[in-house]
Structure formats: C-alpha cells, structure tokens
Chains A and B, each alone.
Chain A
C-alpha cells in the first residue's frame, strides 16, 4: 500500500497566487485531516473530514478551502497565498471503523510564499 501520498513535495508561490495541495490515501480511511507546521513549532489543524461530502474547520482554517468528493482524496486549496502561509503541510488519514487507532501521515509539502 502507498499509504498517504502528498503532492507536490516542494512549492514556491508568489503572494496572491492560488494553488491546490493534493492528498490521496489508498487505505479506505474515512477520516482525513490537514495540518500545518511552522518552523520549530507543533502541528496545527487546518481542516478535517469524517467522510465524503463532510468537512469541518480546525484551529487555523482562514485562507484555506477543502472539499471531499471521494473517500480517497482530500485536496487543500490556498485561495490567495500570503507569506504567513509559508509552512510545511501534512495530510493524515485514519480508519472510521476503529476510531481507537492512529492516523497515518503523509511526508509533507514544503510551501514557500514570497
């Protein structure tokens, strides 16, 4: 199994540009989440989803949109990039059938906004 796949691994954007960070999982997990991690800091939850068609806001949702049209994919859209969104972005997924078990994380997308 590939697990959680994030693309791209690196991206440089100019202020005001928009882009979509891709996240796909092949484990048939219902739960998916997006986190950001600023240098030297912990992870902060941006948006999460408990199933196809269902999304909700996390701790720091402003400036980001998500949608969940399929179980496998959970893209994160930056509407108008700002330097404050320079960060490493992690996608994660978890099983719905056994909520005790942990999340599987992707390897991250390192985003720089100039």
Chain B
C-alpha cells in the first residue's frame, strides 16, 4: 500500500482558511486521494476525494499537485467544529482494496 505523510498537528484561527498538506510520493496511477476526518469521540467521516483534478464540495476543497505526489485539503473558513484529526489516504481504484489509516493531522482551532 502506498503511504502518506502528514504533519502531526496544526493550529489555526477561527474564520481563517486552513491548508492541510499531505505527501504521497509513491502514489500509483490508479490511486485515488481520499481525506477523512474524525471528530472527538466519533467515527471517521469522509470529506473529499480526487484523482488528478482539484475538487470542491460543501465541506472542503482538494488541491492536487500536477505530479500527484502531494495534495492539500483546504478548509475555506475554519470553525470550532472543524477541530478534528484529518487523515489523508490513498485508495486503489483499479482493484478490490482496503484502506490503511496513518496517524493523521490533529487540527486545533483557536477562537
């Protein structure tokens, strides 16, 4: 399984944008980039995914580097409810595949 590298923790101010980086230098051509987040005392929830192009949804945006070896999850206007652990995961889209979680980035939001 291709691995991802994320910073252990990040802090941001409320109502400011947050950029969460992820490196995945061994990504293969069929790997989708997925982001999940886990709020305190809850199960992980899917945030967004992409393959090559940048993606937007109601929760966040995903910016993917041209060589696909890194990506950035963007929260446009952080709220206190965005404080969570964010996981960047690669999922092989060409075959039956499991997903393996890394240690993620713990995001803290300052009021």
User: Which residues of A line the B interface, CB within 8 A?
Assistant: 31, 33, 35, 41-45, 48, 50, 56, 58-59, 90, 92, 96, 99-108
Contact = CB atoms under 8 A, between A and B. Distances in A.
B74 to A, nearest CB: 18
A102 to B, nearest CB: 3
Interface string B20-56: 0000000000001010100000111110010100000
Contacts of A42: 85, 87, 101-104
* Interface class of chain B by DSSP: loop
Interface string B74-111: 00000000000101000111111111111110000000
Given A100-B91, A101-B49, A102-B34, A107 B42 contact: yes
B43 A90 contact: yes
Interface of B: 32, 34, 36, 42-46, 49, 51, 85, 87, 91-104
The 9 closest A-B pairs by CB, nearest first: A102-B46, A105-B43, A50-B96, A43-B101, A48-B98, A42-B103, A100-B32, A99-B93, A90-B43
Given A42-B87, A48-B98, A59-B100, 20 more contacts: A33-B98, A42-B102, A42-B104, A45-B98, A45-B99, A45-B101, A50-B96, A96-B96, A99-B93, A99-B95, A99-B96, A100-B93, A101-B46, A101-B49, A103-B46, A103-B99, A104-B46, A105-B43, A105-B44, A106-B43
Contacts of B45: 105
Nearest to B34: A102
Nearest to B103: A42
Contacts of B104: 42
A107 B43 contact: yes
A102 B36 contact: yes
Which of B43, B87, B93 has the most chain A CB atoms inside 10 A of its CB? B43
Contacts of A99: 32, 91-97
A40 B46 CA distance: 20
A108 B39 CA distance: 13
